[in-house]
Amino acid sequence: MESSSPAASPLLPSSAVTLRPSSSTSAPSALLLLARRLPLLLLVYAVPGVITSSQTYFYAQAKDPTYPFARALMMHVPPWSYWALATPLILALGRRFRLERGVWPRALAVHGPALLGFIVPHLLLIVFLSRAAGEKWFVDNSLGFILPMMLGKYGLTDIIIYGGILSVGYALEYHRRYREGELAQSQLETRLAHAQLEALRAQLHPHFLFNTLNAISVLVRKQDTAGSIRMLTGVSELLRMALNTTGRQQVPLHEDLDFLERYLDIEQTRFQDRLQVVRAIDPATLGALVPSLILQPLVENAIKHGLATRSGAGCVELRASREGARLVLEVLDDGPGLAPGWDTHGGCIGVANVRERLHQLYGDRHAFTLENRAGGGVRARLELPFQSASPEVPVP
């Protein structure tokens, strides 16, 4: 009779090859989980069983045209099904006694007898089925004579099967561990990036708050009670809006503009008629996602360097437009411009914060420039991927 037991199929389900012990999963529950996969295992092992049966059938047809295919199936499919039933037990042994460096001698001492324990029933099953099928050699000889012969014929094949099941199980487990490691690393990197973004975002609150409180103190010294009250009310509203965005790295542009308007109300109270604000906002951009509080430090920078350093009036212009798949935001002023080497000096917390946050959120998918304008003043320009805050609006 032809050999009927190649190595285990690599189509075993992943849950059937979880070899690593787990504190939350007991051995009985693991075996129960493996047993639930038996229908699929039986189907997998039936494939080589049918192939081997076909080989035996066509070989027998040359000698006996009346040889039935059902007889070949009875002799070969059940021995393959035996390994389907044995696979969960072998995997459980591999899970408990691992053939790894440092522990393999003790594990081998277990797997050796276990291997013999699986081979003997397999050989007995073959003998029983062959006798039931009327195979003359099996019927005419005693079990004591047949078993040693069968062991010599099928022993090496069964060893390969046993080792193949363990090898496939270990390979799938190592692959699963690798994927889990990748996932854990990705989650760690995400949490780290989120923590860095939160830290950067947290810098903004005290930054503009301290500047605003300083402006309020100036009004108090001037005994401008009405102006001081307006600024305090504005600061209160500003802080409330800032707290509402806590935990949200991106908000619709209209929310960031609302926050900016409250900030500009405070600054216009401070500078009165000296500060002029021009807005050119494309309505189609209001629903686009932007980093929260991204415009405020740029506007503050424009006011600080374009207006606060001179006695005359100044203008700050806000622009928002869409260019294909990009959202373009610009903050312009008509001040004296950037001094040479400005980016190497201290005190650029807002601009540095913007750069770092954009890098964390978009990587190389964004552009941020801060440069002098040809006609005087400074232009801050952001180009971001256009992402709609509304799920109904498709993102190009």
Q: DSSP letters along 258-275, please?
A: HHHHHHHHHHHHHHGGGE
Would you give the distance in Å from CA 31 to the centre of its chain?
A: 30
Helices (H), 19-103: 27-35, 38-61, 69-96
Q: Residue 151 has what pLDDT?
A: 84
Q: Residue 134 is which amino acid?
A: G
pLDDT-derived band of residue 244, with 50, 70 and 90 as boundaries? low
Cα(110)–Cα(113) distance, integer angstroms: 6
Q: Residue 222 has what pLDDT?
A: 78
Give the mean pLDDT of 220-233. 78
Residue 180 has pLDDT above 70, yes or no: yes
Which is higher by pLDDT, 349 or 353?
A: 353
pLDDT-derived band of residue 206, with 50, 70 and 90 as boundaries? low
Which is higher by pLDDT, 305 or 372?
A: 372
Residue 145 has pLDDT above 70, yes or no: yes
- 297 contacts 325 by C-beta, under 8 angstroms: no
Q: Residue 243 has what pLDDT?
A: 65
Residue 326 has pLDDT above 90, yes or no: yes
Closest by CA to 351, choosing from 292, 296, 290, 298, is: 298
Q: Residue 246 has what pLDDT?
A: 59
The 10s digit of each residue's pLDDT in 256-314 is 999 888 888 888 877 878 899 999 999 999 999 998 888 988 998 888 877 867 778 88
Residue 198 has pLDDT above 50, yes or no: yes
Cα(349)–Cα(326) distance, integer angstroms: 26
Q: Please give the mean pLDDT across all residues of the chain.
A: 78
Residue 17 has pLDDT above 60, yes or no: no
Tokens coding 374: 């040809």
CATH 3.30.565.10 fits 224-385, yes or no: yes
CA separation, residue 100 to residues 94, 261, 348 (Å): 10, 66, 56
Report the predicted TM-score, pTM, of the whole model to 2 decimal places: 0.48
Tokens coding 385: 């991927």
Domain boundaries of the chain, sorted by first residue: 14-185, 224-385
Q: How does strand 275-281 pair with strand 314-323?
A: parallel
pLDDT-derived band of residue 335, with 50, 70 and 90 as boundaries? confident
CB atoms within 10 A of CB 319: 17
Give burial (CB, 10 Å; 0-12/13-18/19+) of 118: buried
Give the mean pLDDT of 126-149. 85
Tokens coding 229: 């009250």
Residue 356 has pLDDT above 80, yes or no: yes
Cα(337)–Cα(282) distance, integer angstroms: 26
Percent of the chain with pLDDT over 70: 78
Strands (E), the chain: 250-252, 275-281, 289-291, 314-323, 326-333, 367-372, 378-385
CB atoms within 10 A of CB 370: 20
Cα(267)–Cα(234) distance, integer angstroms: 10
Tokens coding 51: 């192939």
- 256 contacts 265 by C-beta, under 8 angstroms: no
